[in-house]
Chain A
Amino acid sequence: MTQAVLEVSNLGVSYYTDAGRTRAVDGVNLTLYAGERLGLVGESGCGKSTMALALMRMIKPPGRIESGSAIIGDEKDRVDLLKLSEAEMLQARLSRIAYIPQGAMNSLNPVMRISSQMLDAMKAHLPKASNAELMERAEESIASVELKRSVMHMYPHELSGGMKQRVCIAIGILLSPKVIIADEPTSALDVVVQRQVMETIVRVQEKIGATVILIGHDMGLMCQITSRVAVMYAGKLVELSTVREMFSDPMHPYAKALIASLPSLENKGVFRGIPGLAPSLLRLPSGCVFHPRCEYAMDVCKTTAPQQAVTPSGRYVFCHLYDEHGNKAPNTPLTKAQPVTV
């Protein structure tokens, strides 16, 4: 499980709007290992989906990928997704990296049968394969997401929301991609179906040995499904930890606040929000982008952006409270005094 399959470094995406340049994703570093499930969380507009679209090379004007690399594959076959030509990227989509969309309700063409929508996806990548061969593969894929074979001959409007989401998953795994990005795959479903769909994703992922990036808000779902969690804030990845570490000992103040905001069985009825609002990406605060909302903010936070700290166990954190090895830095509110409760 230590083989890296996707190495994202210094990924930067900006949108050029009339009001100015917004850095939707800013200097994100991320390494994904074979077969793991990584959760990507953060509030709306923090750049989760933009990052996913950047990896698919689907950022549309006025957006632009401005920096970085995303190397996918093992030693035998490594490519930088961000340096592929348009034609090569067309081939890479679905075969190297697949995307399971957020709005599965609407993600299937209403006037085409499911089978045609699976076949055209495969034909775009395997032009020489025979129809019978492809049909067999499609049926196998449909069976692996626990849908009946008859679904293939139906139109999207004849399926329920959960079934449509399963069809999208079945399409996503058709070509056994190395990496699957699931962008809030359960956001439009009720809780029972959510769980079933999540279990389906886990099962097919394990079957084809893919790595999954799961984007979402639902921390509860994340902690059940994923092995590591990355927290994004205002376009930056602020902390990356294992699920256990993230929930028991979050390092970044934003991650701390996020975990503290979850309702728990012990503190029934007590909710702690995060004060303030996410900043506009057009006018980011100076220094550390989180400092105006941070209860541990120091003077240095207002002027200097923190550098990445990596702990011996491999956690990333961007915060002045820690030194470059992730140890608590001396003379910070964390070490000096009790935090001020808000």
Chain B
Amino acid sequence: MRLGYILRRFIFLVFVIWTAATVLFFIPRLSRVNPIRERFAALARSTGYMPADLDNIIKNFELKFGLDKPLPQQYVDYMGSVLRGDLGVSLMSYPKTVVQLIGEALPWTLGLLSVTTVLTFLLGTAVGALAGWPKSPNWVKSMVTPLIVLAAIPPQVLGLLLIYFIAFRMKLLPMAGAYSIGVEPGHLTVSLILDVLKHAILPAAALIIAYIGFWALGMRGMGVTVQGEDYVLFAEHKGLKQSRIFYWYYVRNAILPQVTSLALAFGGIIGAGILVEVTFGFPGIGSTLGSAIASNDYFVIYGIGFITIFAVGVSMLVVDLIYPLLDPRISYERK
């Protein structure tokens, strides 16, 4: 029955992505902002040049990008091209395609966010597990509280504080960007890697500090429940060592919901750091999406939205498929 389950789950995934993509298609169209007019406004701001027959030019561009057609027709056309793997062109950075833009930004985002997500998960889960364990010293148990306070502060605000104190006042680390100005990030050299790492510390710190409390709280909550379970008590009655009980009876059971959250966090990786990326001028997907929204660059918004939905959907599928390996109570075999 396993194959049948995967197939059903996959059809569901396609349905989820299609529904979300449809909703996403119409949202930017509610805005009165015309991306082509925005493009010329930007041009005028930087060069002082404003074409005389702007309305005519805009009409021509709309014709070229198919924006003159009725909205339902545009929807069908766009969905068709997505199916063919074509996400269209950027209206603001024409002639760059959306795929090119995403290709440039995605590695930065994946690099920053996957490392911080894993680190945050490990640290937060460890703190939460220790905080929920009755034999931990009191100072460990009370560690969760300040982390929750920090979790209430949005990461971009923490980012601003870090920029102000560490980058601006103390001048310990660079303020913004992913690498120093003048460095060509094409060739991998030791100095480039060090430069990139140095630039990544502050945005990573903002994300870790802001999200660690979430993981610690989740793990502590489960831990407190599990440590009172009969099987943990019976393990003590068996005369097992504390370390054995801690890892194999306590953490092993308490961590199950954390794994679900981790997979979902991975799915949400693209969206999680948008504001932090904007704050730090980090050239990732978040910054790209931020400027696309500002100028209502339809196809870039669609493209990034689409891969975000896709990532969430796929990671949910992955969680469902790996869960039986973690929890024997869950099985897709039909009994």
Q: Are A58 and B234 in contact (CB under 8 A)?
A: no
Known: A60-B134, A107-B231. A157 touches B328 (CB 8 A): yes
Interface of B is mostly: helix
Contacts of A105 in B (CB 8 A): 230
Taken together as a complex, chains A and B put the C-alpha atoms of A305 and B322 apart, in Å, by 63
Q: Are B253 and A109 in contact (CB under 8 A)?
A: yes
B182 on the A face (CB < 8 A): no
Q: B238 is contacted by which of A102, A104, A120 (Cβ under 8 Å)? A: A120
Q: Are A99 and B231 in contact (CB under 8 A)?
A: no
A219 on the B face (CB < 8 A): no
Contacts of B231 in A (CB 8 A): 106-110
Q: Are A120 and B237 in contact (CB under 8 A)?
A: no
B236 on the A face (CB < 8 A): yes
Contacts of A99 in B (CB 8 A): 234, 237
Q: Are B249 and A58 in contact (CB under 8 A)?
A: no
Which A residues from 63 to 111 make CB contacts under 8 A with B?
90-95, 98-99, 101-111
Taken together as a complex, chains A and B put the C-alpha atoms of A157 and B335 apart, in Å, by 14
Q: Are B230 and A101 in contact (CB under 8 A)?
A: yes
Taken together as a complex, chains A and B put the C-alpha atoms of A124 and B243 apart, in Å, by 11
Q: Are A92 and B248 in contact (CB under 8 A)?
A: no
A121 on the B face (CB < 8 A): yes
Taken together as a complex, chains A and B put the C-alpha atoms of A102 and B248 apart, in Å, by 22
Taken together as a complex, chains A and B put the C-alpha atoms of A157 and B324 apart, in Å, by 13
Q: A168 is contacted by which of B234, B240, B244 (Cβ under 8 Å)? A: B234
Instruction: Tell me the nearest residue of chain A to B235, going by C-beta.
Output: A109
B68 on the A face (CB < 8 A): no
Contacts of B235 in A (CB 8 A): 109
Contacts of B241 in A (CB 8 A): 90, 124
Contacts of B253 in A (CB 8 A): 109-111
Which A residues from 23 to 78 make CB contacts under 8 A with B?
56, 58, 60
Which B residues from 175 to 232 make CB contacts under 8 A with A?
229-231
Q: Are A94 and B230 in contact (CB under 8 A)?
A: no
Count of B interface residues, CB-CB < 8 Å: 22
Q: Are B230 and A124 in contact (CB under 8 A)?
A: no
CB B324 to nearest CB in A, in angstroms, measures: 11
Q: Are A56 and B248 in contact (CB under 8 A)?
A: no
Contacts of A56 in B (CB 8 A): 237
Taken together as a complex, chains A and B put the C-alpha atoms of A105 and B234 apart, in Å, by 12
CB A79 to nearest CB in B, in angstroms, measures: 14
Q: Are B238 and A58 in contact (CB under 8 A)?
A: no
B239 on the A face (CB < 8 A): yes
A232 on the B face (CB < 8 A): no
A125 on the B face (CB < 8 A): yes
Contacts of A104 in B (CB 8 A): 230
Known: A58-B236, A90-B239, A91-B239. A103 touches B328 (CB 8 A): no
Q: Are A124 and B240 in contact (CB under 8 A)?
A: yes
Contacts of A94 in B (CB 8 A): 237-239
B82 on the A face (CB < 8 A): no
Instruction: Tell me the nearest residue of chain B to A174, going by C-beta.
Output: B238
Q: Are B328 and A111 in contact (CB under 8 A)?
A: yes
Q: Are A108 and B234 in contact (CB under 8 A)?
A: yes
Q: Are A101 and B233 in contact (CB under 8 A)?
A: yes
Contacts of A103 in B (CB 8 A): 230
Q: Are A111 and B327 in contact (CB under 8 A)?
A: yes
Q: Are A125 and B229 in contact (CB under 8 A)?
A: no
B252 on the A face (CB < 8 A): yes
CB B169 to nearest CB in A, in angstroms, measures: 47
Q: B244 is contacted by which of A91, A98, A124 (Cβ under 8 Å)? A: A124
Q: Are A120 and B328 in contact (CB under 8 A)?
A: no
Contacts of A95 in B (CB 8 A): 239
Taken together as a complex, chains A and B put the C-alpha atoms of A157 and B231 apart, in Å, by 13
Most chain A Cβ neighbours within 10 Å, of B231, B236, B241:
B231
Q: A98 is contacted by which of B134, B237, B326, B327 (Cβ under 8 Å)? A: B237
CB A168 to nearest CB in B, in angstroms, measures: 7
0/1 string, B316-329, CB within 8 A of A gives 1: 00000000001111
Most chain A Cβ neighbours within 10 Å, of B238, B249, B327, B329:
B238
Instruction: Tell me the nearest residue of chain B to A98, going by C-beta.
Output: B237
Q: Are A93 and B252 in contact (CB under 8 A)?
A: no
Taken together as a complex, chains A and B put the C-alpha atoms of A56 and B328 apart, in Å, by 31
Q: A124 is contacted by which of B233, B238, B326, B327 (Cβ under 8 Å)? A: B238
Contacts of A124 in B (CB 8 A): 238-241, 244
Q: Are A93 and B234 in contact (CB under 8 A)?
A: no
Q: A120 is contacted by which of B229, B236, B248, B326 (Cβ under 8 Å)? A: B248
CB A112 to nearest CB in B, in angstroms, measures: 7
Taken together as a complex, chains A and B put the C-alpha atoms of A209 and B213 apart, in Å, by 53
A13 on the B face (CB < 8 A): no
CB A177 to nearest CB in B, in angstroms, measures: 10
Instruction: Tell me the nearest residue of chain A to B237, going by C-beta.
Output: A99
Other contacts beyond A101-B230, A104-B230, A112-B252: 7, CB < 8 A: A108-B231, A110-B253, A110-B327, A111-B329, A120-B238, A124-B238, A124-B244
Which 10 A/B pairs are nearest by Cβ-Cβ distance?
Answer: A93-B239, A106-B230, A121-B238, A107-B234, A99-B237, A103-B230, A155-B328, A107-B230, A94-B239, A109-B231
Chain B residues close to A by CB (< 8 Å) = 134, 229-231, 233-241, 244, 248-249, 252-253, 326-329
Q: Could you jot down 12 A-B contacts, CB within 8 Å?
A: A60-B134, A93-B237, A95-B239, A109-B231, A109-B249, A110-B329, A111-B253, A111-B326, A121-B240, A124-B241, A155-B329, A171-B234
Chain A residues close to B by CB (< 8 Å) = 56, 58, 60, 90-95, 98-99, 101-112, 120-121, 124-125, 155, 157, 168, 171
